[in-house]
Structure 1
């Protein structure tokens, strides 16, 4: 008897087609200041089958807001080389096709380009011109300069406008390369970093003067990859150890200092900043005690703080909250800088799904509870004015199991427990997915 995998059931199941629907109904009032697209990426396997939730073909779901109106909903598969012609990452000779990926994890904007990202390949550029929204332009390699995959979690420095990112993986060393593109989109730094094995490195962090990498014990298993074993070809390997690598931004080709921590895994970091004249780096992360082999995610992550003492050569590890939560976000204008608030999502709890606002200074949490059967995805922060860390909204897709439909919910970040400012009712459900952003027209 054939059993359907859990990542293909319920709201994890893919939708079968692409839609364009205009003039959506709204409960509440869409803030009139908002004109642009909310875009969110996620896996949506075209053949309605994939070996792991992380491996489905990318589909971007977008809602267009215009001056108080919910003007349109559109969803489009990202037409990668894997999607259009079945390209595979490696041929029989071990050659790596960096255009062969599913582009299913994030969607960001840099230097006027909108990029759909997955960490195993090059990004894919999307067309956001009127009438072409979310059409795929093609793979993007920074004018021929990018020769590794690109992380799905790049960081834009709010001071310089530079985009910091990395590529990891491969069958041979170097297993990690740090990259930097300037505000105009030109790739200016590509620097290999020596690590002993190909470990799954999903995210990293940026401060005003440092870059911090995470070498954690989820290690690539070539035998699993060759055998086509279920799940992802990675194995939880605590003997590999866990450590944080610190690189000075003003010396991108200089030495990386490594700091050991307790074995764990981190998919996503909330934010990082510097204290004590740059001698302490403070990172907030969603820490998992471990992952199952094949990247089994049956456990849960919770909010922790890591403080790297550069002078003492040590790391202090502190759990800040024990609730199950993921998908952390801040006001991106404070990337690498001190920030008071962070936001996370909980898919299921005693009162249904929730979005949380952590006050990292006061040590308090405010939550918006959606009720039984309503499940939020990642909540992106949308600024209401030009003040970093100031007022704003949180946007997230929320699935309702009772109707099997989804809404784009807009919450007041400063009054999170209040009813939504607006709920934009979508013509279909948006499958559970990963990351996205509000991309204003301006």
Structure 2
């Protein structure tokens, strides 16, 4: 791919934050403003759809683009940048004559070309490091193992046969900082709908845990982890038109519906065995959880909640047309859900429209002091800010980029010299130049802006999620 498109310009003035980047790069960043902190050493990995068109065909949904990983190596010599597409089966086959069925993309050829076809695994949603391995994730299928240095695709991963059939493995695993264990889940449809949970120990050995039964196939994107439980909030995003989806009569996202009357299923799966505890509560609409912790007999989980009455249709249209209007996808608010023995209650924490919550991961499974998120400075606007909400003082700090620019999820990196706090790293799209820059911000002085920026020679699409791996972790 790199050789075929080497003549393409690295960036085009005036292009948008989701424009494709067909080229693959590997270089040392020359333009650095400010000073890269001496205590920030390691690699930032980010992933998202590298292209939303194939052979002139506009893909029908942002979730259908081929996954592209970006690697920022931060060291004494500065910042190095590398990007590579994940060599999935879909990537290998996609051409001007063929595209796979996706979440919102139908294959050319009508229903006969789409009937009984599952979405192609484009491995574009998250990239995680655990037990010496690096994996790109897409929640409908198996992970892909990548080389941490070169980003070369090693192959699909089933963790010694633990992932079976479709091998669904959520894009949001959680790691307990105390034990080093990674927990995750996958959606299973056959022979009956359920969430199946997994534990992978610090050596890489993975086992199956309990399940969460579902009354019908539902979409569940994320979960949270406490000292004793995996915590699930399964919202009523269900397949409302299963026949049309199966027969290929319509795209899968058009067959999903938010059925508020079904409510949200709350499930606590014990980490070390035992029966799953299930409660039902009023319908919640969310995608991402920040964290969870136990407070006496209660479990508290923090999420970014959207308006259950209207947000599904607005959100779905926004992600289908992300190049023109992504703002609705960032209209959630930080809330805390308290799960008691018999009842569930909700509390709004902040009113700033936001998404992609983050925390100091040293506090995973415990009450965390601060929540960080990508935010919109205006309701319905594009993500142009990074916000921090202090849960002790109630203080909220915000950094906003230049008008017309956008930011993505801010990844946290702990400062080993501080008990709490550290650095946030986000990628800013500079609209006027159609380039991207890496922002490094101090969590204690967020409103002051970046302590360092690394100006890329090219742009990279905004992307979804990522992770930071400190130098000593490998």
Alpha-carbon distance in 2 for matches of 1:68, 1:30: 10
Q: Does 1:206 align with 2:209?
A: no
Alpha-carbon distance in 1 for matches of 2:25, 2:201: 36
Q: Does 1:303 align with 2:334?
A: yes
Q: Does 1:146 align with 2:163?
A: yes
Q: Does 1:287 align with 2:305?
A: yes
Name 2:416's counterpart in structure 1.
Answer: 385
- How does 1:13-412 map onto structure 2 within 5 Å? 13-45=19-51, 47=54, 49-70=58-79, 72-85=80-93, 100-129=120-149, 133-147=150-164, 148-170=167-189, 172-220=191-239, 221-225=241-245, 226-229=248-251, 231=253, 233-251=255-273, 254-276=274-296, 279-290=297-308, 291-292=312-313, 295-297=316-318, 298=328, 300-310=331-341, 313-347=342-376, 349=378, 353-385=384-416, 390-412=420-442
Residues 343 and 27 (structure 1), Cα distance of their counterparts in 2 relative to 1, 3 Å cut: same
Assess if the C-alpha contact under 8 Å between 2:232 and 2:266 holds in 1: yes
* CA deviation after TM superposition for structure 1 residue 151, in Å: 0.3
Alpha-carbon distance in 2 for matches of 1:275, 1:333: 18
Assess if the C-alpha contact under 8 Å between 2:143 and 2:158 holds in 1: yes
Tell me the TM-score normalised to structure 2 length: 0.83
| Structure of higher RCO (CA pairs closer than 8 Å, 6+ residues apart) | 2
Residues 406 and 92 (structure 1), Cα distance of their counterparts in 2 relative to 1, 3 Å cut: closer
Residues 344 and 224 (structure 1), Cα distance of their counterparts in 2 relative to 1, 3 Å cut: farther
Assess if the C-alpha contact under 8 Å between 1:302 and 1:321 holds in 2: yes
Alpha-carbon distance in 1 for matches of 2:358, 2:175: 14
What SS does the aligned partner of 1:416 have? Answer: helix
Residues 117 and 417 (structure 1), Cα distance of their counterparts in 2 relative to 1, 3 Å cut: same
What SS does the aligned partner of 2:17 have? Answer: helix
Query: Could you list the per-position Cα deviations for residues 207-244 of structure 1 after superposition, in whole angstroms to 9, with x for gaps in the alignment?
Result: 01111112111112424432233745421111322121
Residues 305 and 294 (structure 1), Cα distance of their counterparts in 2 relative to 1, 3 Å cut: closer
* CA deviation after TM superposition for structure 1 residue 172, in Å: 4.4
* CA deviation after TM superposition for structure 1 residue 348, in Å: 5.1
Alpha-carbon distance in 2 for matches of 1:19, 1:421: 25
The unaligned stretches of length 5 or more in structure 1 are 1-8
Q: Which moved more, 1:216-225 or 1:51-60?
A: 216-225
Tell me the TM-score normalised to structure 1 length: 0.89
* CA deviation after TM superposition for structure 1 residue 36, in Å: 2.4
Residues 420 and 294 (structure 1), Cα distance of their counterparts in 2 relative to 1, 3 Å cut: closer
Q: Which moved more, 1:146-155 or 1:330-339?
A: 330-339
The unaligned stretches of length 5 or more in structure 2 are 1-14, 103-112, 319-327
Query: Could you list the per-position Cα deviations for residues 405-425 of structure 1 after superposition, in whole angstroms to 9, with x for gaps in the alignment?
Result: 111000001111113110000
Query: Could you list the per-position Cα deviations for residues 250-285 of structure 1 after superposition, in whole angstroms to 9, with x for gaps in the alignment?
Result: 32xx32222223212111011111112xx0111111
Query: Could you list the per-position Cα deviations for residues 347-383 of structure 1 after superposition, in whole angstroms to 9, with x for gaps in the alignment?
Result: 4538971101111122221111213112110001111
Alpha-carbon distance in 1 for matches of 2:353, 2:281: 21
Residues 327 and 428 (structure 1), Cα distance of their counterparts in 2 relative to 1, 3 Å cut: same
What SS does the aligned partner of 1:54 have? Answer: helix
* CA deviation after TM superposition for structure 1 residue 64, in Å: 1.6
Q: Which moved more, 1:402-411 or 1:187-196?
A: 187-196
Alpha-carbon distance in 1 for matches of 2:122, 2:77: 34
Alpha-carbon distance in 2 for matches of 1:224, 1:319: 38
